[in-house]
Structure 1
Amino acid sequence: MGRNIGDFPLEQLREYKPEMIGRPDDFNEFWSSQKEKMKAIKPNITVSRRPYPVPAVEVMDLTFESWDGTPLKGIFIKPAGVEECPVIVSFHGYTGSCGLAIDYLKWPALGVAVYSLDVRGQGSSPDYARYGNGSRVPGWMLSGILNHENYYYTNMYRDLILQLQWIRSEEALVNPSSLGVMGSSQGGGLALAAAALGEDVDYVVSDWPFMTHFDRALDIALQGPYMEIIKYFKLNDPQGKNWDPVKKTLSYIDSLHFCDSITCPALMAVGLEDSSTPPSTVFAAFNHLQSTDKEIEVYPHFTHEMNGFHEEKKLAFVGGQLMK
């Protein structure tokens, strides 16, 4: 089943666990220092409740002022009338947005509240960071690509650290009895990073994660955001003189490098015909998870696309976590 276009056969994928030879020696130290820096910041939050035609839920528009003043736009949806309940933080895909309240109604039906914020520079959120390089290639992958301290995704990870700290604080909009993180593609990579960087994350759902195992992805991906890096070298640096600095920057945000510190229950998914986030990069992340309760759902004929069958499995997985 499934043609595994351009990647390993499924039997080999299930065993694929590459060594993390590209992870920087100061990786854990760097991210521990970022978490400490975020603890010193109290974000400004603006909340506006909106009328909604489903009386069983409450919907609010959010503006989350992050560590550098960037106002991140988003929504919050929860079961009506509750002050404490399980919480999910949902991360969107590349070029996406926080979505509409209707996209999340299945979670309040389980008694779960959902935060979803546009990441910086995407959706309705601006990006107040200034980056030290230009590029002929459009997209966010290259903003600050030569400096891991001020790279686009480094700044985004700082955002999510601050968000998770706030969600666990007394100032949050609901007291979380449990906390899960989830997303697909870019959101899947962010969910893995959040599971490692967040405080007391109880479970993670990550579908075909992007920003995962760059060493492999840059060799075999045929479309999607990884190609921005390839085009950067083709158009800006045709002889690869900046290859080492670029790889160093990416090594700090590669979600694979977080996976061996993730111990919470995990559900992942992969499409075997996905040429945007190749299956081997997804299995590399899954196989490095230290979770004793983990599962990966394999869809042989799916590419990089939403999957209603898997949405049902996610609902069952989260429901199972709430019963523990």
Structure 2
Amino acid sequence: MPTIDMPLEQLKTYEGRNPRPADFDAYWDRALDELRAVDPQVELIPSSFQTPQADCFDLYFTGVRGARIHAKYVRPRNVEGRHPAVLQFHGYTGNAGDWNEKLAYASLGFSVLALDCRGQGGYSEDVGGVRGTTHNGHIIRGLNDHPDNLLFRHIFLDTAQLAQIALALPEVDPDRVYAMGGSQGGALTIACAALEPRVKKLAPVFPFLCDYKRVWEMDLDKDAYGELRTFFRHFDPLHEKEDEIFEKLGYIDLQYLAERIRGEVLMFVGLMDTICPPSTQFAAYNKMTAPKQYVIYPDFGHEHLPGCGDRTMQFFLEK
């Protein structure tokens, strides 16, 4: 079997390299307390894009630290009673995507809520001192500050808040709220289901933001993880604070949040992935205690995985 990482048998037991902060649980409990204190001020604005089968809205809500967050909301028409909902999360620096991409799920009676991450390619606000996009560099945003100011902390909380908004919609069945996404979207799928454990099913695809030290040791702190190398080159060129930096990154390492998931997991992994190495993904998967299964693509990297979308849809349709 081809590999750029560990053999599959070793991946199945790999437990991760990045240090876990001693106060990790208290950190996220405190973060969730901050989220609970926020008035989301949800606003639904009909979009100019509409179809005969679904109503389309721009959904806005207020997240932690006062940021105004945007998502696309597609609600199926002519569906009796409460129906399922799927939360969609996009890749790094991207956005919620086109409206038409949500219609396959809407045609099956699902509501779809697709998040724009703060400061990336969509309309969500980043309140870090400037207006408009910051695009990337989000892993290291706040790394020279208090851990409570890490930007991905706030983005992870946005995913949980979107799930809470979906769970509270009168048309949505709270027992059938699901989450999906690839790369950063896979990471946010895990974060969402960890911080809002009422998410019943999740389908992360080659999740990002796992086991940062392993990425660095593999010399793969480039491409999507390139800002790790940039941070060291600018702020710690002799790696004198290496242990401290990786421990702080541990607060936003999905392998440790994965323990909180209660929903059923279907994860997709390409063994030739040099962007999000398989071992980093399995560091998170192996810590999940909820019902779980993985699908391996031996010859594929960080790219379209044939059949992945179909299998995810079937997974969400299963009773």
Same fold (TM over 0.5): yes
Choose from 187, 190, 201 the match for 2:188.
190
Structure 1 stretches lacking a partner, 5+ long: 132-137
Cα–Cα, structure 1 residues 27 and 56, in superposed 2: closer, same or farther, change >3 Å? same
Structure 2 stretches lacking a partner, 5+ long: 131-135
For residue 64 of structure 2, give the secondary structure of its aligned residue in structure 1: coil
Partner of 2:172: 175
Give the superposition deviation at 1:68. Answer: 2.1
Instruction: Kindly provide the amino acid, as one letter, of the partner of residue 265 in structure 1.
Output: E
Q: Is the 8 A contact 2:204 2:266 kept in 1?
A: yes
- The sequence identity of aligned pairs, in percent, is 31
Cα–Cα, structure 1 residues 123 and 291, in superposed 2: closer, same or farther, change >3 Å? same
Matches of 1:179 and 1:261, distance apart in 2: 17
Give the superposition deviation at 1:199. Answer: 4.2
Alignment of 1:221-232 (within 5 A): 221=220, 223-232=222-231
Matches of 1:34 and 1:167, distance apart in 2: 20
Matches of 1:141 and 1:40, distance apart in 2: 25
Partner of 1:278: 277
Partner of 1:205: 203
Partner of 2:133: none
Partner of 1:310: 308
Cα–Cα, structure 1 residues 88 and 184, in superposed 2: closer, same or farther, change >3 Å? same
Alignment of 1:187-266 (within 5 A): 187-220=185-218, 221=220, 223-266=222-265
Partner of 2:140: 142
For residue 168 of structure 1, give the secondary structure of its aligned residue in structure 2: helix
Give the superposition deviation at 1:52. Answer: 4.2
Instruction: Kindly provide the amino acid, as one letter, of the partner of residue 277 in structure 1.
Output: C
Q: How many residues align?
A: 309
Q: Is the 8 A contact 2:212 2:253 kept in 1?
A: yes
Cα–Cα, structure 1 residues 149 and 186, in superposed 2: closer, same or farther, change >3 Å? same
Choose from 116, 119, 122 the match for 1:118.
116
Q: Is the 8 A contact 2:138 2:151 kept in 1?
A: yes
Instruction: Kindly provide the amino acid, as one letter, of the partner of residue 215 in structure 1.
Output: K
Partner of 1:61: 58
Matches of 2:8 and 2:35, distance apart in 1: 41
Give the superposition deviation at 1:88. Answer: 1.3
For residue 216 of structure 1, give the secondary structure of its aligned residue in structure 2: helix
For residue 87 of structure 1, give the secondary structure of its aligned residue in structure 2: strand
For residue 294 of structure 2, give the secondary structure of its aligned residue in structure 1: strand
Matches of 1:60 and 1:80, distance apart in 2: 13
Partner of 1:135: none
Instruction: Kindly provide the amino acid, as one letter, of the partner of residue 85 in structure 2.
Output: V
Give the superposition deviation at 1:235. Answer: 3.3
Choose from 67, 74, 77 the match for 1:77.
74
Q: Is the 8 A contact 1:222 1:275 kept in 2?
A: no
Q: Is the 8 A contact 1:35 1:161 kept in 2?
A: no
TM-score, length of structure 2 as denominator length: 0.90
Runs of 4+ in 1 over 4 A off after TM superposition: none
Q: Any idea what the Cα deviations from partners look like across 1:134-156, whole Å, max 9, x if unmatched?
A: xxxx6222211123110110121
Q: Is the 8 A contact 2:67 2:125 kept in 1?
A: yes
Matches of 1:244 and 1:13, distance apart in 2: 24
For residue 66 of structure 2, give the secondary structure of its aligned residue in structure 1: coil
TM-score, length of structure 1 as denominator length: 0.88
